Amino acid sequence: MDFINKLIQLKIIPFLERRNLLRLTLVIIDVLAIAIAFQIAFMINYHGEGAIFFFERKDLTLLFLAILPLWLITLYIINATEIPRTKKYTTLILEYIQSAITISIILMILYFVFKLGYLSRLFLIQFAFLGFLFLLLARIIEYKVFKVYRAKGFNYVNLILIADETAIPFIEEIRQNIEWGYRITFMFTSSVQLSEKYGRIYKLLPEKSKMVIHDLIEVDTIDEVIYIKKDINPSEVRKVIRSCEELGVVFRLRHRDIHFNLSNAYTTEIGNTKFMTFSNIPYKASALAAKKFMDVSVSSILLILLSPLLIIIAVIIKLTSKGPVIYRQARVGLRGRQFDLYKFRTMVANADQIRMELEEMNEADGPAFKIKDDPRITTIGKFLRKTGLDELPQLVNVLKGEMSLIGPRPPLKSETEQYKRWQLRRLSVKPGLSCFWQIIPDRNNVKFDKWMEMDLAYIDNWSPRLDFIILLKTIKTVFQRTGV
């Protein structure tokens, strides 16, 4: 416990959260746990054969590189990559046993298909067991750290409850388990019992004013809306879901074995209460795992392969104009969270100040700002924009988990403030490097509303196959230099 308090005192976790490096750090810890397990199994079975580390042998290195992403994807599919809030330790252990059994089966398949008879089967079994052990140990330690961290008021989830007196056990469970990190921001209720019990603790609003939920979500940072009442009005539920979808907020309905004709719902638990959780994008754990793996692996590989080009571009920018090489701009990401987007600077250093003088020349409709021959763009900047190379530093945003390779482009805060209600739904997914708009010819003549419709069409029809097609077409666009 002293170790955990020391970690929090050093503000390591807040530092990682502020820079959106927390998820990446957890992935790195998982990778290290698997790598250490592989190394120890190697040392036990092949000690004294000349090599000290497994990566000195090409065959074992290839086996490790094959099994590593499969193990990470397996953990993602069974929902074991995130730090849980209310999960029991027994559930956690069972999940990691499940992942170890899955990997053992995959290893045996690889063993027989690729005729790896020269490898010790004991080595493979020991690797699977040690991997399970180290991954579980790492996650339990992380779980304990975050329990203390959340109990101190960090890493919380803001909730709006639509509740009656049957919600009292759930509310009390949240109040007694502050380490879960759930914070009730508003409560809509017509229950006298709830008003008397929690009127001085929470902000209570009359249930008939539920139409202001949309405004509350826009003004306050709300992560989830929870509907927890004895009597459920399906029409009312659909209206609330629609509001949540438009703003990318999670909606949960207490599960009572009642089935509604509602799509994109899956079962979850908070403490001892079961919920139907609704997502505004097609939900499939394996598909989401594939997307996450593609984001991390492709961005990592591209950053390594393109590093010479990135250095050359940086040098040219530095030599041809004054100002920083990388331009950082606050953009709006998933559920309205802001982050710093990275781009190669393509304009003069004081471009943001000059924009105010150019507002009358804006050729784009809606809240977007574009000028065909923008006088602020530098000579090298025109080439970078034409080829799309100015966007390459955003691979770092992808690696940090702020963006995805494919998704709607991240807007400015000033743009989202002018969005129509239906357009806000594009903030319900991670922004991306490219989407439908980026791969169509003459894209700058597309009206703003049509652009937004294309982004929502992507959200409604998302699949790993669609991401792969857009990625290939984006590469084609770069080489054909059809960007602006």
Same domain, 389 and 356: yes
Domain end residue (candidates: 107, 130, 151)? 151
- Strand 338-344 and strand 224-228: the pairing is unpaired
Same domain, 463 and 365: yes
Same domain, 63 and 116: yes
As a whole number of angstroms, the distance between CA 173 and CA 179 comes to 11
Same domain, 444 and 323: yes
- Strand 265-270 and strand 273-278: the pairing is antiparallel
pLDDT at 119: 87
As a whole number of angstroms, the distance between CA 306 and CA 298 comes to 12
Same domain, 147 and 161: no
Same domain, 129 and 207: no
How far is C-alpha 137 from the geometric centre of its chain's CA atoms?
24
Here the tokens at position 148 are 């203390």
Same domain, 343 and 453: yes
pLDDT at 348: 87
pLDDT at 204: 93
Same domain, 473 and 326: yes
pLDDT at 215: 75
pLDDT at 484: 46
Q: Tell the burial category of 419 from Cβ atoms under 10 Å away from its Cβ (0-12, 13-18, 19+).
A: buried
Domain end residue (candidates: 151, 170, 203)? 151
Q: Tell the burial category of 1 from Cβ atoms under 10 Å away from its Cβ (0-12, 13-18, 19+).
A: exposed
Same domain, 6 and 52: yes
Query: What residues does 250 pair with on adjacent strands?
Result: 224
Same domain, 111 and 171: no
Domain end residue (candidates: 278, 308, 335)? 278
Q: Tell the burial category of 482 from Cβ atoms under 10 Å away from its Cβ (0-12, 13-18, 19+).
A: middle
Same domain, 290 and 273: no
pLDDT at 3: 65
Same domain, 333 and 393: yes
Q: Which residues of the chain have pLDDT under 50?
A: 484
**CB contact at 8 A, 62 and 38:** no
How many domains is the chain built from? Answer: 3
* Domain housing 168: 157-278
